[in-house]
């Protein structure tokens, strides 16, 4: 079973369109994330959610709207797509301190395979 | 969050030991040092984490000097399949939704050749 799965894997669309990327994790983690990786491999955090609540929003344009229907899902909706939105988007999850004390918990991130978005 | 500096790229040959150093001069008391590996077309995956001295697992070793202002990821006897980008992250790994998960940067591209 895939721990963190995201769909679609590839997405090609025109400027101005609206698109969504879905993410699901079956690890029982409380925290989920969206990262953006550009063509130069710079990997940058966009959002993080803990138990369906927004924790981090790293100055991402309002066109990006994450939605977490439950703690196992974090979807990313993008309105009015622009050329600069072309990138690989990674979903991730982790088990953090609020999940309970565990000296063996490294807080490591588990990533999905990525969704390559190309805006034409 | 502590800023990290690591080389943009490194080249090596199969069978050699590779050491990638990361500088983190303003590391805080609660911060851990965590390394991730990313293969092309895949998400990063956790390699190793340490707080001080030396940590070793089945994949790599992590050396951290006493002042903790730098760390070195050591990959023994690399193979072609170790060609990947390696990210050094510094911060509290258990901070809810944040901590050391926020700043991956551009990492070090390791290329292993025959």
Residue range B68-108, pLDDT digits in tens: 999 999 999 999 999 999 999 998 887 777 776 777 878 99
Q: Is the peptide bond before A8 cis (omega within 30 degrees of 0)?
A: yes
Phi, psi angle pair for A115, to nearest 5°: -125, 115
Q: Do B42 and A113 touch (CB under 8 A)?
A: yes
- Chain B's closest residue to A41, CA to CA, is B106
Q: State the alpha helices, DSSP H only, in B1-114.
A: none
> Measured between alpha carbons, how far is B12 from A18 in angstroms, rounded to an integer?
44
Q: How many CB pairs under 8 A join A and B?
A: 86
Q: Among residues of chain A, what percentage have pLDDT more than 70?
A: 92
User: Residue A46, CB half-sphere, CA atoms under 13 Å: how many?
Assistant: 28
Q: Among residues of chain A, what percentage have pLDDT more than 90?
A: 68
**Chain B residues within 8 A of A94 when measuring between CB atoms:** 101
Q: Do B41 and A35 touch (CB under 8 A)?
A: no
Task: Flag whether residue B40 sits within 8 Å of chain A, measured between CB atoms.
Answer: no
Q: At A96, is the pLDDT very low, low, confident or very high (cuts 50, 70, 90)?
A: confident
Q: Look at residue A55 in the predicted model and tell me its pLDDT.
A: 86
B7-58: pLDDT as tens digits = 999 999 999 999 999 999 999 998 999 999 999 989 999 999 999 999 999 9
Q: At A15, is the pLDDT very low, low, confident or very high (cuts 50, 70, 90)?
A: very high
Q: Do B43 and A113 touch (CB under 8 A)?
A: yes
Q: Do B97 and A48 touch (CB under 8 A)?
A: yes
Q: Do B94 and A108 touch (CB under 8 A)?
A: no
């Amino acid at each position: 079973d895939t721990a963190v799965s995201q769909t679609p894997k590839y997405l090609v669309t025109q400027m101005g369109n609206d698109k969504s990327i879905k993410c699901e994790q079956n690890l029982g983690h409380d925290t989920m994330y969206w990262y953006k990786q550009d063509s130069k491999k710079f990997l940058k955090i966009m959002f993080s959610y803990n138990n369906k609540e927004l924790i981090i929003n790293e100055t991402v344009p309002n066109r990006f709207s994450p939605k977490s229907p439950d703690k196992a899902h974090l979807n990313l909706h993008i309105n009015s797509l622009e050329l600069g939105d072309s990138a690989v988007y990674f979903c991730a999850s982790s088990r953090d301190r609020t999940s309970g004390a565990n000296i063996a918990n490294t807080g490591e991130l588990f990533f999905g395979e990525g969704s390559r978005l190309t805006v034409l | 969050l502590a800023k990290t500096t690591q080389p943009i790229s490194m080249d090596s040959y199969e069978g050699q030991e590779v050491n990638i150093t990361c500088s983190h001069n303003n590391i805080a008391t609660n911060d851990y040092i965590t390394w991730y590996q990313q293969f092309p077309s895949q998400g990063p995956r956790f390699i190793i984490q340490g707080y001080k001295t030396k940590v070793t697992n089945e994949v790599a070793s992590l050396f951290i000097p006493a002042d903790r202002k730098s760390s070195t990821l050591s990959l023994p006897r690399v193979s072609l399949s170790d060609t990947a980008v390696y990210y050094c992250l510094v911060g509290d790994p258990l901070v809810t939704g944040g901590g050391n998960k926020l700043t991956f940067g551009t990492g070090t591209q390791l290329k292993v050749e025959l």
